[in-house]
Amino acid sequence: MDQQKIGKFIANERKEKGLTQAALAEKLGITDRAVSKWETGKSLPDASLMLELSEILGISVNELLTGERIKVDDYKKIAEENLLEMKKKEEINNKKLLHFYIIINILGFLSLGAFIGIAVLADISWLLRSIIIGLAIMVFGITTACCFKIDHDAGYYMCPNCDHRYVPSMALITFAPHMGFTKYMKCPKCQKKGWHKKVLSK
Ligand SMILES: [Zn+2]
């Protein structure tokens, strides 16, 4: 996606509509600095704003993502290209999140081991020992909760039976039996139980 091109396109269409940056920003409930950033190609509009922005400018989301008006013939091809690129971006993002998951998970176990090692081996009072074990459990609990949250937010799980891709509930993420990023769950679509694998995009 060409941010510069998209920025210029937004600026042009905004002027055609007779809107100032401030007026456009107000319609969207954001700052005019954000609009200026889009128009200079420094950032892309948030996905959540794209539909509303396109409506205000009288263009399609597809045209917004392409940075130009699209002839009807080219429409389908360009729509597919844009979808593919959005998908790629999502996959890269999710991959980063899952790497982060692994790091946090390892840190959680290392700190649990270190704390318990200290509590068992160090020549300290029972009170101090209990405090250290309490801390160990707390740190481990926090890192584990972070991992569950990432597992929930990054990517989808795929049913091996019907290929349905979905985001399981936090309860399932927490309690379903798992091996790495594969979980034993019931498919919400075909209702069959099985080992569902993590996938990076829909
Ligand atoms: Zn299924």
pLDDT single digits (tens) 87-111: 899 999 999 999 999 999 999 999 9
CA of 151 from ligand 1 middle (Å) equals: 20
- In DSSP notation, 39-67 reads HTTS-PPPHHHHHHHHHHHT--HHHHHHT
CA of 158 from ligand 1 middle (Å) equals: 8
Measured CA to CA, the distance from residue 72 to residue 86 in angstroms comes to 21
Look at residue 104 in the predicted model and tell me its pLDDT: 95
CA of 3 from ligand 1 middle (Å) equals: 39
CA of 181 from ligand 1 middle (Å) equals: 17
CA of 82 from ligand 1 middle (Å) equals: 28
Per the CB < 8 A criterion, the answer to whether 182 and 197 are in contact is yes
Look at residue 80 in the predicted model and tell me its pLDDT: 83
Q: How many CA atoms lie within 13 A of 126 on its CB side?
A: 0
Measured CA to CA, the distance from residue 52 to residue 35 in angstroms comes to 13
CA of 184 from ligand 1 middle (Å) equals: 12
CA of 178 from ligand 1 middle (Å) equals: 17
Measured CA to CA, the distance from residue 89 to residue 201 in angstroms comes to 10
CA of 1 from ligand 1 middle (Å) equals: 34
Q: Please measure the distance between the N-terminal and C-terminal CA atoms of the chain and give it in whole angstroms.
A: 20
Look at residue 69 in the predicted model and tell me its pLDDT: 86
Neighbours of 108 (CB within 10 A): 19
Measured CA to CA, the distance from residue 80 to residue 83 in angstroms comes to 5
CA of 24 from ligand 1 middle (Å) equals: 45
Look at residue 122 in the predicted model and tell me its pLDDT: 86
Residue numbers of the chain with a pLDDT score lower than 50: none
Q: Which long-range contacts (CB under 8 A, 24 or more apart) does 41-48 make?
A: 41/3, 41/4, 41/5, 41/6, 41/7, 41/8, 42/3, 42/7, 43/3, 44/1, 44/3, 44/6, 45/10
What angle in degrees, to the nearest 10, is found between the helix axes of 47-57 and 21-28?
Answer: 120
